[in-house]
Structure 1
Amino acid sequence: MAKLIKQKSFQITILVVFLLIILAGVVYFNGKSGEAVARVNGETITKDDLYNALVEQNGEEVLDSLISDKIIELEIKKQNITVGEEAVQTEIQNISVQYGGEEAFKQALEAYGYSMENVKADVKKNLEIKKLLEPGITITEDEMKNYFEENKDTFNEEEQVKASHILVDTEEKALEVKNKLSAGEDFAEMAKQYSTDTGNKDQGGELGFFSRGDMVKEFEDAAFSMEIGKVSDPIKTEYGYHIIKVEEKKPAKEANYEESKAQVKETLLDQKLSAAYDTWLQDKYEEYKIDNLL
């Protein structure tokens, strides 16, 4: 999927200093404090030096973040908050769509040195915080209606196509796959066997629904012009040759409040969560006994 969708601008914020502080702390407490971490012309820089420098530069900020994390952890335990793996995966899938697909999202993470395990941990934590705060947030019917009227265009549904594809490197290979499909071979199995798009080949080449502007032009033009259930001839793009199967189509549709209500509520909830979090955390700081011994 990522090989087809146009790249979108993105930024992933990684707290490098935070990680260095933690690393320094682990090294410091698990080894000899005077042990060398570097030498310059025989002069030693010790673990003490490294740790103290990092603490001096960002220690208060990082410690405050760790205290906040500990408060959240204790509240989650106190209120028996749980977030399942399925919810985490769904949220990650939603995020990956915003980056142009699973493969593009993975490439973005690699570029910033961030792992999928880091993402899962962050997503799970955010979902847990959401569960903690949501009971205290009120969203009225009037708020939802006003927001919908002010942002109605954003809830309109564009024309969409649901399709699968098989991507190969050469036209010869594409024609071979096409002939096998014409002879009755299963499209999903052919995708698993032949497709070079690692982002979706194991799912039978499924791309889900997409709108105009999401895919490269040649692919998009073909998919939107095809009939449901039809399989295309090889389509050449900058990524190779595609065999496309159109599975479903949705016409453009103007939004109405009742159908958009759940989405409106979720949008307003996300907006209110940020402000509610700061107030909630400040209250918890006053509630908990905190000794800062840095």
Structure 2
Amino acid sequence: MSGRTLWSIIFGLILINCITVGYFLSKERGILPVSSNGETIATIGEVTITREQWMAELESRYGKDTLKDLVNMKVVEELAEKYAITVSEDVMERELAVYKSMYNSLDEEQPGNEENWEQQIRYSILLEELLTRDVLVTEKEMETFYENNKDLYSIKEAYHLSHIVVKTEKEANMLLDELAGGSSFEALALEKSLDEFTANQGGDIGFVSKDNEYVPGAYLEAVLKLGEGDWSEPIQVDEGYAIILLHKKLEGETYSYKEVKGQIRRQIALEQMEGPVSAEPLWDEIGVSWFYGKK
């Protein structure tokens, strides 16, 4: 398995939980509505569905797993504070940059937003540090791993793009007029783009690099002339004409051994452990009791 593929798997697993994390964090903050007696939330003919029925169904389907995720988050936070384990801004920026360099909505759907990514990445790092804090990894092991896996710690120059695809050049020029008049790029993409894979995401393609196989080469030529927040002139593509918007440029970078030493230590240490990477082995240390009894 190549290093790049391994990174994709690692971040894929991390990001799978982002929707769930966002759900229970929102619930914890009181964003989800609370139950009120007999409130009807849907009517189907003469049949009604109450809020209580809806919440009971949500709990039966997702309650245990969601509560377990929330408990795990709290366990990790409490133990990280106990052992004075923190995640620096530099580490967060690097981990987030690596994920962004892989994120492409045309490749596969990946849920959540940047805030959720940061929350989940921070949680994963803290959890790994807690689980491996007593595992000894030598300097030689880490240096050898770095030399053999440098591609894991290198990101390519990439561009976060959105696009709107229409049939004719005339339609594309009309889009430019609407954008110049203050219309939202996202709203126009949702309303008018022919690309069904990205229209519902406001045209968001994700980050693309020069060797990306999912976007026309003309996009990567046009983006070189754009500043962040700028959109292009009409670009001819197979489906017609496209307008692209550059959200952000991600500079390419190769990280030094010193910068990624902590990450390498965790990775080697985790490979020496048995079982999945989970916060549940930490429950006994902090003392957890919950609605569903024993874990």
Under a length normalisation based on structure 2, what TM-score does the superposition of the two structures give? 0.48
**TM-score normalised per structure 1:** 0.48
